[in-house]
Chains A and B, each alone.
Chain A
Amino acid sequence: MKQSTFKEEQKVTTASNLENMEKQAALDIFSQMLLIRRFEEEAERLYRKGLVRGFLHTYIGEEAIAVGAIPPLREDDYVISHYRDHGHALARGIDPKAAMAELCGKSTGCSGGKGGSMHLFDIEKHFMGGHAIVGGQLPLAIGIALGLKLKHLDSVVMCFFGDGAVSEGEFHEAMNIASLWKLPVVFMLENNLYGMGTDVNRSRAGGSSIYGAAEPYKIPAVQIDGMDVMAVRETVNEGVAKVREGQGPVFIESMAYRFHGHSMADPSNYRDNEEVQENRTRDPIDKFRDVCIETGKVDGNDIALIAEQIDILVQEAREFAEQSPEPTAEDLYTHIYAEPEGN
């Protein structure tokens, strides 16, 4: 793919995008997005019941980005994320039971109950963590990519971050080094227009459109509709191919909107209800479902069946989390330090 194409093309899902897609593949995409949506809704319910504590940041409204971007990756690729990480973890194939148990602080959680919502890990699946210091995962992604390069592997690192992270110095340092050393990084910016409660236009001199920030670092960049799962998928496939060839990083800005507050503690007073409602009409799951049905790719029964299956999965995750044991007092003291090599 030419750099100019990557920079200029605006992708939109139309029926034609689905023409060559198998029915099952379309259903998988729908199913993965719906799993995230229902998982997050259940997590919010559990938070209100007091079973999930701490900070809970849900991904509702942004599902198309994780589902468009992560499943096309190879098993030997890596994913690293920020604190709004449930969607990325589920899209990477983390068991919803282990994720829900982690949210509930149970020893069966994917981080043993020590990480919580913001710090999901599954290293076997190459899900290298949710990281909760804004921008902090960017240097780690650089390091994973450097390690891959030194090992002469053709895997790539997909690094998710939000518009807030762009104000951190580490963002610019990371972009510079990634480009300078031609590291295999896909910079996945999820621009949901607010860094917590601050409108990106009030925090960024360059305005709300960010992909141009990659240009000084000579990184090919594109801005896409992050609520359009097929647009994300196609762009990521092109971008990943480019990175895998050893041409260095690419930058993908997915324009998005989170339907709920920053966290459960946030009543969203800084944005108009009208704005929220207007964005809800762009619901990525409804949109994809409608295109699928329009094309005759799937029908209402397929959709209903998936919805039913997802509800069961999420209820099983909730039951597993509720019934799992808490960590023991001994667990407080484990894994502070690693065992010596060879042990």
Chain B
Amino acid sequence: MAEMLLRDAMAKALREALDEDDRSFLMGEDIGAYGGAYAVTKGFLEKYGEERVRDTPISESVFVGAGIGSAMIGMRPIVEVMTINFTLVAMDQIINHAAKLSYMSNGQLQVPLIIRTVTGGGAQLAATHSQSFENWYASVPGLRVVVPATPYDALGMFRSCRKDNNPIIFAEHALLYRVKGEVPEEYYEVPLGKARIAKPGTDVTLVAYSGMVRVAEEAAAKLEEDNISSEVIDLRCLSPLDLDTVIESVKKTNRVAIVEETWKTGGFSGTIASDIQEAAFDYLDGPIIRINGPDVPAPYARNIEQLMIPSSNWIVESVKYNFGL
């Protein structure tokens, strides 16, 4: 099995879309001549031409809307918004239009649109360029939210997204592009809405997604040194959400901590915590712990920026303290 960077897994996923489906095209800021802000589409313009690899003006609302409109008549556009922070400029198109058209037209319309975007902090880009809004989008009926943590899942879930007929936010964490992982050469798919047990364990369940999965895995390794066995669950998708895998794990471990990069207030960890206590209250041996970034804008300076992103030590201490382990 070959090792591959997540960036290269995404490039492979996009090449497949363009090679296999003439209804697909890419559109976004600096994806062509520049090669993509995160270099995912490097060389694409030369190979596929400017009709199918479309550099757009810096008009997020209209190029996202243009993706929706083309999907309304049967195209399968893949739109790249340079970062999730910029999707805010297109939020009306995403929420009031893409997410609503199937429902409002009583199923006459479908919007098979994939919006690729880059999420997460930790690169000293300060308050406007370090946010994670996957949880916001996950609260909107009609949208799917896909949050891969490994190269294998990035490729496998993207393949599933291409077969889905709904608008999808496909959020790639900026710090994961250089993460390597095994990606088989033979074809496979990873279904949407099926969580992954990243590491099995018995004493505590750590639920995470996107960039926080490897942080939770690091924490699990550290807890292992103290003979505390953690089960790490990678949600993979926030919508559809695989709650069953989480509940099964909690019934086994009786303890759960949810790790999420974004702010605690309004965080998706709150929704999951609530769902867990509704479904498995009697199985819990302690409070459900939510490990989120504190409610502050991201600062620039490295030392204080790091204080707002959940770390493996933070998880370890929190698990030990709250559960008395």
Contact = CB atoms under 8 A, between A and B. Distances in A.
B95 to A, nearest CB: 10
Contacts of B107: 112, 334-335, 338
Interface string B101-121: 111111111111000000000
A59 interface: no
A170 interface: yes
Nearest to B95: A133
Interface string B272-300: 00000000000000000000000000000
A338 B102 contact: yes
A204 B102 CA distance: 35
B103 A177 contact: no
B72 A128 contact: yes
Interface string B142-161: 10100000000000000000
Nearest to B63: A177
A4 B72 CA distance: 35
B165 A129 contact: no
B59 A173 contact: yes
B66 A139 contact: yes
A329 to B, nearest CB: 15
B46 interface: no
Contact of A142 (B66, B104, B108): B66
A336 B103 contact: yes
Nearest to B239: A337
Nearest to A133: B96
A115 B104 contact: yes
B289 to A, nearest CB: 32
Contacts of B56: 177
B108 A131 contact: no
Interface core residue of A122, A148, A334, A341 (most chain B CB under 10 Å): A341
A31 interface: no
Contact of B73 (A148, A177, A334): A148
B185 interface: no
Given A143-B69, A145-B69, A177 B62 contact: yes
A217 to B, nearest CB: 11
B105 A146 contact: no
A176 B105 contact: no
A123 B104 contact: no
A121 B104 contact: yes
A177 B59 contact: yes
Given A115-B104, A146-B69, A338-B166, A136 B96 contact: yes
Given A176-B57, A177-B63, A180-B57, A143 B70 contact: yes
B92 interface: yes
Contacts of A146: 66, 69-70, 75
Contact of A177 (B25, B66, B93): B66
Contact of A114 (B59, B62, B77, B106): B106
Contacts of A112: 106-107
B103 A170 contact: no
A139 B62 contact: yes
B61 interface: yes
Nearest to B52: A150
Interface string A138-161: 111111111110110000000000
Interface string A308-343: 000000000000000000000000001111111110
Contacts of A337: 102, 142, 144, 166
Nearest to B56: A177
Given A176-B57, A177-B59, A338-B166, A150 B75 contact: yes
B102 A147 contact: no
A78 interface: yes
Given A136-B92, A335-B107, A339-B165, A143 B71 contact: yes
B28 interface: no
A133 B74 CA distance: 23
Contacts of B103: 114, 335-336
A140 B72 contact: yes
Interface in A96-143: 111-115, 119, 121-124, 128-129, 131, 133, 136, 138-143
Nearest to B65: A139
Interface of A: 78, 111-115, 119, 121-124, 128-129, 131, 133, 136, 138-148, 150-151, 169-170, 173-174, 176-177, 180, 334-342
Q: Which 10 A-B pairs have the closest CB atoms?
A: A143-B69, A139-B65, A112-B106, A147-B70, A338-B165, A335-B107, A173-B59, A143-B66, A121-B105, A173-B62
Interface of B: 25, 51, 56-57, 59, 61-75, 77, 92-93, 96-97, 101-112, 141-142, 144, 163-166
Given A174-B65, A334-B107, 18 more contacts: A111-B105, A114-B104, A115-B106, A119-B104, A129-B104, A131-B97, A133-B96, A139-B63, A145-B69, A146-B75, A147-B72, A173-B61, A177-B57, A336-B141, A337-B166, A338-B107, A338-B110, A340-B165
